[in-house]
Amino acid sequence: MEANEARESFFTTKLFGQETKRTCERIWRCLKKDKVTSIGIYGVKGVGKTTLAKLINHLLQQKTQSQVIWINISQEFSIKELQNDIAAAIGLDLLEEEDEEKRAIALHESFKGKKDFVLILDDALEDIPLKMLGNPLKVEGGRLIVTSCLLETCRKMGCQRKFGVKKLEEEESWSLFIEKLGNEKVVIPQEVEEMAKFVVNNCGGLPLRIITIAKSLKGLELDGLNKWKKALENIIQESFKGENNDVIQMLLYSFNCLKEQNLQQCFLYCCLYPEDEKIPKDQLISRFILEGLIDTKETREAEFEQGYEILSRLESVCLLESAIDSKGNQCVKMHNLIRDMAMRITYENPMFMVKAGVQLNDAPKEHEWLENLDKVSLMRNKIAEIPAGTSAKCPKLTTLMLQQNYHLWKIPDSFFEHMKALRVLDISHTCIEKLPDSVSDLENLTALLLAFCWNLRSIPTLEKLKALQELDLSGTAIQTMPEALETMLNLKSLNLHAMRWLEKIPIGILSQISSLKRLVLSHHTDVEGEELEELKELEEFQGFPIN
């Protein structure tokens, strides 16, 4: 989830369909009346509820003095997360308070100091107790807008006025399709126009579906009747595979238009992150590199350039959206419908197990670790330990994401015994105290990520990990450099930032890591002699100034 005061401009926001435009006008008239303090906007996924809410948001900013607080609600939200997001938006510090009711009271008191504000809750799938969000409607000048797939949710949340967003009419759908295809620049042969209209009509009047199909066609060289016919036939074939008129099947066409396998794999990789996640582009590209999804280049800069190009292509066919997170990072995110489609693809080949950000208290049972699993994401849950004796028999597993299980303190040695293909292991932001010795036998590992494992004081020998390209020990309690680090001939990135107990890097280690391109140190970490000259040759160095 992300909350902000929504100061970005939505001049580019455009509504599709006359009925939706009229709905927008009715909502705006309601907001100008003092008696209406809560509004619900409902409709099926992909119909344009969020787009409509964004336009209302823009109007509020441009035509009123209202402070707008925009909250995206993920499928597995928690009250505390919502409270944190609202607090961040209104400049309230709740970090020291754990009791949810006291946090709600603090939010309420903060709301009372505002003359006019609008809280927008986008994509509420269930009734959310407003009392726990500071009771915004019990404050003079406070108003609420809720968007939801369900009219019932709007009713339960006490919305005074409720507005349904309707699907586009056939003529409106066709106009939108032509517009997104490129207007006059793209000519549809008369012989296939009926087939094209059939495809558009089977989008069910959902703008998201229509735009996705149009942009996927826009990216093809359709310079003849046969190419148009084949492209449209492919769409029709995909749309009727499985469930009739299934929106996810329609979205599959855009995925299948990504002819290069690495593009498809990069897209699917994004579904390993939680729903509604804004994924920093640099972080994602770094993962693509480690997973071998980007061609090896002479410099990291060249590899990142290819990564940006991949993300740009995925955005151009509407499979990813641009976003900016609270730290100002350039990010991408997946629309929920598109993520659902990606998840469906990964049920079979490649096979993923994704349970990211769903409030899991226990790790999956041993029988859930299937033999054909390729990637597993259990990030951002509440898993405290993996039970003793657990052995995940996943000989094909290449990626395991356990980061941000903040209470995870124990992993048994048996857990990694059958993961010999593992390439990327992320245990960052956990309270793990000791890494299993079996990690030393993961000879295909390219990334070992242990950032801010504050309780971690040592790691087993790295002698066998000859393929390792990235080692992140930032924020750990490790006091000495890992054993056999100097033998890591493929190591490109080493992060030793915020290692409060590491005061000195022994002479000779850095000079022996011939592939090193990136090094991050704490300012207090000492480097001596000839090692300083080695630092000057790095592509990227963060730490003390080098003369």
- The amino acid that residue 161 corresponds to is R
361-380 pLDDT, tens digit per residue, is: 999 999 999 999 999 999 99
Nearest of 168, 126, 151 to residue 16 by alpha carbon: 168
The number of folded domains in the chain is 3
Does residue 514 belong to any structural domain of this protein?
Answer: no
Average pLDDT over residues 3-20: 53
Name the pLDDT band for 55 (thresholds 50, 70, 90).
very high
Residues in the chain: 547
The pLDDT of residue 533 is above 80: no
Does residue 23 belong to any structural domain of this protein?
Answer: yes
Q: Which residue has the higher pLDDT, 5 or 252?
A: 252
Distances (CA, A) of 121 to 21, 34, 82, 144: 21, 20, 10, 8
Name the pLDDT band for 244 (thresholds 50, 70, 90).
very low
Query: Which domain range does residue 72 map to?
Result: 18-164
Q: Which residue has the higher pLDDT, 77 or 535?
A: 77
pLDDT at residue number 14 = 62
Q: Cα–Cα distance between 527 and 205 in angstroms, integer?
A: 63
**What is 139-161 written as a DSSP string?**
STTEEEEEEES-HHHHHHTT-SE
The pLDDT of residue 76 is above 90: no
Average pLDDT over residues 346-366: 95
98-117 pLDDT, tens digit per residue, is: 899 999 999 999 999 888 99
pLDDT at residue number 8 = 36
Same domain, 34 and 160: yes
Average pLDDT over residues 140-167: 90
Q: What single-letter DSSP state applies at residue 387?
A: P
The pLDDT of residue 285 is above 80: yes
Same domain, 185 and 144: no
Distances (CA, A) of 501 to 326, 406, 472, 504, 522: 31, 21, 15, 9, 10
Q: Which residue has the higher pLDDT, 428 or 298?
A: 428
Element housing 541 (H / E): strand 540-542
Q: Cα–Cα distance between 85 and 188 in angstroms, integer?
A: 47
pLDDT at residue number 21 = 86
Does residue 429 belong to any structural domain of this protein?
Answer: no
pLDDT at residue number 280 = 98
**What is 468-525 written as a DSSP string?**
--EEE-TT----SPPTTGGG-TT--EEEETT-TT--BPPTTHHHH-TT--EEEE-TT-
Same domain, 224 and 238: yes
Name the pLDDT band for 323 (thresholds 50, 70, 90).
very high
Name the pLDDT band for 2 (thresholds 50, 70, 90).
very low
Q: Give the three-class secondary structure for 213.
A: helix
Q: Given 138, 164, 190, which residue is the final one in a domain?
A: 164
Same domain, 235 and 192: yes
Taken in order 205, 209, 211, 214, the sign of the CA dihedral is negative
The pLDDT of residue 7 is above 70: no
Q: What is the largest CA-CA distance in the chain?
A: 76
**What is 238-277 written as a DSSP string?**
HHTSSSTT-HHHHHHHHHHT--SHHHHHHHHHGGGSPTT-
In the block, which residue shows the tokens 């979205």?
Answer: 251
Same domain, 313 and 329: yes
Same domain, 26 and 155: yes
pLDDT at residue number 10 = 34
Element housing 131 (H / E): none
* Average confidence score pLDDT of the chain: 88
Give the strand order in the sheet containing 321-324. 279-280, 330-333, 321-324
Does residue 27 belong to any structural domain of this protein?
Answer: yes
Strands 321-324 and 330-333: antiparallel
Q: Given 334, 349, 382, which residue is the final one in a domain?
A: 334
Same domain, 183 and 281: no
Nearest of 413, 454, 456 to residue 434 by alpha carbon: 456
As given in the structure block, the two tokens for residue 330 are 């350039």
Name the pLDDT band for 279 (thresholds 50, 70, 90).
very high
- Please give the share of the chain, as a percent, with pLDDT higher than 90: 56
In the block, which residue shows the tokens 């493929």?
Answer: 490
The CATH number given to whatever domain includes residue 292 is 1.10.10.10
Same domain, 109 and 84: yes
Same domain, 104 and 205: no
pLDDT at residue number 221 = 65
Does residue 503 belong to any structural domain of this protein?
Answer: no
The CATH number given to whatever domain includes residue 130 is 3.40.50.300
As given in the structure block, the two tokens for residue 341 are 């489609």
Same domain, 251 and 329: no
Same domain, 186 and 294: no
Name the pLDDT band for 43 (thresholds 50, 70, 90).
confident
pLDDT at residue number 248 = 67
Q: Which residue has the higher pLDDT, 388 or 32?
A: 388
The pLDDT of residue 1 is above 60: no
Same domain, 45 and 144: yes
Q: Give the three-class secondary structure for 410.
A: strand
Does residue 412 belong to any structural domain of this protein?
Answer: no
222-232 pLDDT, tens digit per residue, is: 677 888 888 88
Contact 90, 110 (CB under 8 A): yes
161-205 pLDDT, tens digit per residue, is: 999 888 888 899 999 999 888 766 677 888 888 888 988 887 878
473-527 pLDDT, tens digit per residue, is: 999 999 988 988 988 999 999 999 999 888 888 888 888 888 999 999 988 787 7
- Please give the share of the chain, as a percent, with pLDDT higher than 70: 91
Does residue 539 belong to any structural domain of this protein?
Answer: no
Q: Given 130, 164, 198, which residue is the final one in a domain?
A: 164
The pLDDT of residue 11 is above 70: no
**What is 193-207 written as a DSSP string?**
HHHHHHHHHTTTT-H
Does residue 239 belong to any structural domain of this protein?
Answer: yes
Where b means 16+ CB within 10 Å and e means fewer, 190-228 reads eebeebbeebbebbbbbbbbbbbbbbbbeeeebeeeeeb
Question: Quick one: CA torsion of 456, 461, 463, 466, rounded to 10 degrees?
Answer: -20
Q: Cα–Cα distance between 62 and 59 in angstroms, integer?
A: 5
